[in-house]
Copies of this chain bind each other. A is one copy, B any other.
Amino acid sequence: MDIRLDELVRSGDFRTMRQGLLSLDLPTLVDELERLDPDDRAVAFRMLPKALSVRVFELLAPELQGELVSQLRSRDVATLVEELDPDDRVTLLEELPASVARSLLHGLDPDERRMTLAVLGYPADSVGRRMTPEVLALPSGSTVGRALRLVQAGQEEAETIYMLPVVGDGRVVVGVMSLRRLLASDPEAIIDDLMSEPITVQATQDQEQAARTVRAHGALAVPVVDAERRLLGVLTVDDAMRILLDEEHEDAARAGGTDPLRRPYLATSVWRLVRSRITWLLFLILAAALTVNVLDYFEDTLAQVVALALFVPLLIGTGGNVGAQAATTVIRALALEEVRPRDVWRVLRRECMVGLLLGVTLATLAFGPAAWMTDWHIAVVLSASLVLICTMAASAGGLIPLLARRVGVDPAVLSAPFITTFVDGTGLIVYFLIARAVLGL
């Protein structure tokens, strides 16, 4: 059904609206709510039956949860927050002003508060923040039959029962059992004889790295442990998936020159869109200031042969693009650990070759038309510059992400502005130096 929620909210026809809302399936309902303005969203949200509102709240983007919390009465809020998983609750608390977050924490029952605080204690990008402490563990030495009874008794509380950590003294993880294996085994067997080597992640480890571990092993969940391998919680495939997709999105946004929005486009204000883009544009304008200076320096050469100006956008555009291509490829390879900082020479050799081949191809194609438009001297200048600029740009595009990683900065953030600055400035210098040499100025 094609309902226009925003029109319904504004028309004030709440009966039709409530019917409209209830006719949607859960994901569509969440989508539709996320497309509304914040005020309209609060109105629509209040019309939902309580059980449904809890499920919708869970699925909303954390930023929108934060906004809603400030618009609802505090009793409603307490219920909503209580129903969230500890890890999702932490994400929400991070979105709220400190005073609101504190009062929410105090409203929780002691057990839930303890778990939430445990998760809140870990560093911002660590696994600890994304794990859920609600994990069901099997004591080492149990029989399969006893383990199955433990699963049946404890499953209400646990986030997953499909991956079951086996723990020894002091909750040290000694293995993992899959529920699948458990069901297939003789009830009298001892789980220690059946369990597999545990693949674990440390709570203080980086989220993305941990998520890649989950993915590389095709696991439904992995136990999260402390430095002594004691069980703290579990990281599930859902959470891993969200971490990896957020990361990919971040890289895609950065490649396009914006900060990731982290909220639906239509629910983002124009000011927030401007803010997500202005930093990168300011960087670029500084890079561009360099090109203005270079052109200023060569103004005499330009005045003598105005035709040289014709190819400036073409050269800069091509150089920037060749650099961006190399950087995009290498940034991704670094993120996937296909390339490591020690591979710097291998990468440089390849990108240098790729840039040279691209440059020669483009120079060959450009020579004819350029000679026809101007004269063959300028066409020679253009072609030689294309070859050199492409080679330099690809090399810089391959190198800069590796150097960024070495000095411990996110390659996706640092690379684009640096490459643009480098390629634009040096590209023009190369062009004019070749021009002076060939044209004898």
Please give the residue numbers on chain A whose beta carbons come within 8 Å of chain B beta carbons, in ascending order: 26-27, 30-31, 34-35, 59, 148, 151-152, 155-156, 161-162, 179-180, 183-184, 213, 215-218, 220, 237-238, 240-241, 244-245, 248-249, 251-253, 255-258, 261, 264-266, 270, 273-274, 276-278, 280-282, 284-285, 287-289, 291-292, 295-296, 299, 302-303, 306-307, 309-314, 316-318, 320-322, 324-325, 327-330, 332-333, 336-339, 343, 346-347, 350, 353-354, 357-358, 361-362, 365-366, 369, 373, 420, 424, 428
Contacts and interface: CB of A to CB of B under 8 A. Distances in A.
A150 to B, nearest CB: 11
Given A302-B309, A306-B302, A354-B274, A338 B256 contact: no
Q: Name the residue in A162, A241, A347 with the highest tally of chain B Cβ atoms < 10 Å from its Cβ.
A: A241
A291 B277 contact: no
A221 to B, nearest CB: 10
Nearest to A420: B317
21 contacts: A27-B217, A31-B337, A34-B338, A59-B216, A152-B183, A152-B184, A155-B184, A161-B183, A162-B179, A162-B180, A237-B237, A255-B328, A261-B329, A266-B333, A266-B343, A276-B329, A282-B365, A285-B366, A292-B314, A295-B309, A316-B316
A307 to B, nearest CB: 7
Nearest to A328: B256
B248 A325 contact: no
Contacts of A324: 256-257
Contacts of A307: 299
Q: Name the residue in A152, A253, A310, A320 with the highest tally of chain B Cβ atoms < 10 Å from its Cβ.
A: A310
The 10 closest A-B pairs by CB, nearest first: A256-B328, A265-B333, A248-B248, A288-B314, A27-B216, A252-B252, A264-B338, A291-B313, A255-B255, A309-B309
A338 B365 CA distance: 42
A134 to B, nearest CB: 14
B339 A313 contact: no
Contacts of A322: 277, 281
Given A266-B346, A306-B302, A317-B316, A273 B354 contact: yes
Given A255-B328, A295-B313, 17 more contacts: A151-B183, A155-B183, A161-B180, A162-B162, A179-B179, A215-B241, A240-B241, A258-B328, A266-B338, A266-B346, A274-B357, A277-B322, A277-B325, A281-B362, A288-B314, A299-B307, A313-B428
Contacts of A318: 281, 284-285, 288
Contacts of A285: 314, 318, 362, 365-366
Contact of A255 (B184, B256, B274): B256
A280 B280 CA distance: 23
Contact of A329 (B220, B273, B347): B273
